[in-house]
Amino acid sequence: MYLHIDMDYFFAQIEEKRRPMASDKIIVVCVFSGRTEDSGVVSTVNYLGRSVGIKSGMPIAFAKKRAPPADSIFIPMDRPYYNEISAQIDSIIRENFEKIVQASVDEWNVDDPKSGEKAAELKNEILRETNLTCTIGVAPSLLGAKMVAAKVKPNGLIIINEEEEKKLIENSALEKVPGIGPKTTETLRLMGAEKVSDLPKLDRLRLVEVFGRKMGGWLSELGSGRYPSELGEDKDQDEISRIGTLKEKTRDQYMIKSKLKELEKEAKSWLIERKKSYRTLAIIFITEDLKTHTKSLSFRNPKGWSEDIEKEKETLVSEFLFENQMEIRRVGIRFGNFMDLGGQTTLF
């Protein structure tokens, strides 16, 4: 079975939960361009804002016309913070599953025979650890999982069997199928196909002729009921984090450091596989009040994965414990600002 996880109104939900008093307001996360006070576009908006017609990509000035000032908050994007939360969710998923691909900042694909039983538990754990809701679809194919998740958004969870999946996909309009864009939809419409169930009417050779071998072949497979399930590529990223839950809430340096050692190993095996060196190191602390704190260092010269960073970690941890009196619940490590090592396999 495949599992598709998509966070609900991700950036806006994070901002909403940061401001408990604002849960009845329209929250608009904006990319301000700075030219004039209102120039820029909407990144995303909560469901209240969507109900008055505000959407991703819309100019901020348009959105303001739809949102009464007293009932709405326009907030600049805080991408580093969203990335931190994304890494936290990634680590929760990794604690529960093995074959995982993070497809975007707020989306994961998982391949696991038992994913059906574990999906509800995962949804709860994400909520408990981050206070955020997500939507999870589980189906025999990844395509089915994505499509059924889209239907039960937000805060949804659904598991479907083969028969239900077939019905859902066959009855779907072509433009609702992930992977089929507006241009392909239009060409297919001209060829006489509106729904997935119309695809078998089109000859495979003809599809390949019009759309090329890859897309044409893909459409023909889709028409014959063989649904794609490749987990896809990991998103492009310029940092790798691993965050883990401590056995118990603690301020004990030894416990914190031994957890960090484990996480460092995981993150470094990722670096090694991709031949990356890095210029920034950060230690992430999630305290008992669920707040996320980061302590970081930059290096003038990029560091290779085999270089020792015990001292640096030690400094960051002690500094944090000195500045903050809370107990720590999760810790993480992050390497960022990569340099590609190309063909070079070792720095020494």
Residue from 4, 5, 6, 12 in contact with Ca ion (CB under 5 A): 6
Phi, psi of 155 (to 5 degrees): 50, 40
165: left (phi over 0), alpha (psi -120 to 50) or beta: alpha
Please name which of 245, 327, 290, 326 lies closest in space to residue 18, comparing C-alpha atoms: 290
DSSP 234: P
Report the SS3 class of residue 40: strand
d(CA 321, CA 232): 40
Positions 242 through 281 that interact with ligand DGT (CB under 6 A) = none
Contacts of 282 (CB under 8 A, 6+ apart): 241, 294, 295, 296, 297, 316, 333, 334, 336
Quickly count helices (H) and strands (E) in the chain. 11, 12
Catalytic residues: 107
Q: Out of Ca ion, ligand DGT, none, which partner does residue 245 contact, by CB within 5 to 8 A per kind?
A: none
94 part of the interface to ligand DGT, by CB under 6 A: no
Please name which of 282, 334, 266, 329 lies closest in space to residue 130, comparing C-alpha atoms: 329
d(CA 145, CA 164): 11
Q: Which stretch binds ligand DGT (CB under 6 A): 8-16, 61-69, 201-209, 250-258?
A: 8-16
Positions 107 through 126 that interact with Ca ion (CB under 5 A) = 107
Residue from 9, 74, 97, 335 in contact with ligand DGT (CB under 6 A): 9
78 part of the interface to ligand DGT, by CB under 6 A: no
7 part of the interface to ligand DGT, by CB under 6 A: yes
Positions 105 through 124 that interact with ligand DGT (CB under 6 A) = 105-106
Build a one-symbol-per-residue string for 27-46: x at contacts with ligand DGT by CB under 6 A, - elsewhere.
Answer: ----x-----------xx--
What's the closest the beta carbon of residue 42 comes to ligand DGT, in angstroms?
Answer: 7
Residue from 56, 83, 245, 280 in contact with ligand DGT (CB under 6 A): 56
Residues at the interface with Ca ion (CB under 5 A): 6-7, 10, 106-107
Residues at the interface with ligand DGT (CB under 6 A): 6-11, 31, 43-44, 56-57, 105-106, 153-154
